[in-house]
Amino acid sequence: MSSRMSAILIIIGIAVTVIFGFTNDTATADWTSD
């Protein structure tokens, strides 16, 4: 996997976590345990 692809995946992962964290704070614990 290229470094650019992995970087994009990391950014997307962080964005999704932040978005879900803002929508529902209680859901963040479930995401981290995954």
CB neighbours of 20 closer than 8 A, spacing ≥ 6?
27, 28, 31
Q: Given this model, what pLDDT does residue 27 score?
A: 53
- Mean pLDDT, rounded, for 3-27: 84
Q: Given this model, what pLDDT does residue 33 score?
A: 54
Enclosing domain of residue 28: 3-33
Give the number of domains in the chain.
1
| pLDDT of 3 above 70 | yes
- Mean pLDDT, rounded, for 3-31: 81
- How far is it, in rounded angstroms, from Cα 25 to Cα 2? 33
DSSP 3-23: HHHHHHHHHHHHHHHHHHHHH
